[in-house]
């Protein structure tokens, strides 16, 4: 056999012997707005390891859930409360056997810039602290941070005085922006949101018993079929991901 033909045959056999890398795939993730930043870092780490890409769409958990129920093309849903995951599970829009709680969080009171700390209990004078301004919160009957916030204020006997002064935003990041931009002197957000915005400071933490436990459930949607989507869901609780979550201030569920 001529030398050139032998060389070509050897090259072909060597190529066939190489392990084949799966084609790059995109995984679409609908996630709670409070995961912005940390989930971006998790997705980047996963992409560096696997070559695949997570396409992230953020918003209030209520809006994300409704979009999934209406057929939006998502592979994974990560909510900031069990209630909205329950809703999409009840409607059959997630694969119930893939559901798991991946994170926890804390509810805090924030102010613009640096401000003196306060004790968040039944004696807190929110109307006096607001001095005619507004208390920024996510939608109190829909978005998890707002729901938890209302629960806490009701539990502490502060809701009746605060309710007329609440300025509601479509997401917790919207409430955070109200305070950061000086549109509201105070706000109620998750601790991780406050940590992501240098223009605000945490002045108090709501007692854990004043609201339902803050958990972030995640699951594959009913329409997710790719093994790569399941791989990214598993990666959310991997050691590399846990280090990123912890650095951002999230706790274990």
Binding residues: 34, 61, 145, 172
Q: Quote the CA–CA distance of 164 and 135 in Å, as a whole number.
A: 9
Cβ pair 185, 167 in contact under 8 A: no
Residues of the chain with CATH 3.40.190.10: 23-104+214-248, 107-210
Q: Quote the CA–CA distance of 124 and 7 in Å, as a whole number.
A: 82
Backbone angles phi, psi at 199, to 5 degrees: -85, 0
Q: Quote the CA–CA distance of 24 and 50 in Å, as a whole number.
A: 8
Residue-level pLDDT at 12: 37
Residue-level pLDDT at 24: 87
Residue-level pLDDT at 23: 74
Cβ pair 217, 79 in contact under 8 A: yes
Residue-level pLDDT at 22: 52
Q: Quote the CA–CA distance of 14 and 241 in Å, as a whole number.
A: 36
65-104 b/e (C-beta count within 10 Å ≥ 16 → b)? bbbbeeebebbbbbbbbbbbbebbbeeebbbeebbeebbe
Binding residues for molybdate: 34, 61, 145, 172
Residue-level pLDDT at 21: 44
List per-block mean pLDDT (blocks of 10 residues) for the chain, which spans 253 residues: 37 38 84 96 97 96 96 96 96 97 97 95 97 97 96 98 97 97 97 96 97 97 96 98 96 90
Length of the chain: 253
Could you tell me the fold of the domain covering 107-210?
D-Maltodextrin-Binding Protein; domain 2 (3.40.190)
Could you tell me the fold of the domain covering 23-104+214-248?
D-Maltodextrin-Binding Protein; domain 2 (3.40.190)
**Is the sign of the CA dihedral 193, 197, 200, 202 positive or negative?**
positive
DSSP per position, 91-142: TT-B-GGG-EEEEE--EEEEEESS------STT--HHHHHTT--EEEE-TTT
């Amino acid at each position: 056999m001529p030398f050139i033909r032998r060389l070509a045959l050897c090259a072909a056999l060597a190529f066939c012997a190489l392990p084949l890398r799966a084609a790059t795939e995109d995984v679409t993730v609908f996630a709670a707005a409070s995961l912005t930043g940390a989930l971006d870092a998790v997705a980047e780490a996963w992409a560096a390891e696997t070559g695949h890409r997570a396409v992230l769409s953020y918003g209030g958990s209520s809006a994300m859930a409704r979009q999934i129920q209406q057929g939006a093309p998502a592979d994974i849903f990560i909510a900031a409360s069990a209630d909205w995951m329950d809703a999409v599970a009840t409607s059959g829009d997630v694969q119930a056997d893939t559901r798991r709680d991946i994170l926890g969080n804390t509810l805090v009171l924030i102010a613009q810039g640096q401000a003196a700390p306060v004790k968040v209990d039944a004696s807190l004078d929110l109307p006096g602290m607001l001095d005619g301004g507004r208390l920024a919160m996510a939608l109190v009957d829909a978005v998890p941070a707002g729901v938890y916030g209302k629960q806490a204020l009701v539990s502490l006997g502060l809701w009746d005085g605060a309710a007329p002064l609440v300025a509601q935003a479509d997401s917790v990041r919207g409430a955070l922006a109200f305070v950061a931009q000086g549109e509201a002197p105070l706000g109620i957000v998750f601790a991780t949101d406050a940590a992501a915005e240098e223009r605000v400071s945490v002045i108090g933490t709501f007692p854990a018993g004043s609201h339902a436990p803050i958990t972030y459930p995640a699951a594959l949607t009913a329409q997710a079929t790719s093994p790569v989507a399941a791989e990214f869901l598993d990666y959310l609780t991997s050691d590399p991901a846990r280090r990123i979550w912890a650095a951002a201030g999230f706790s274990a569920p």
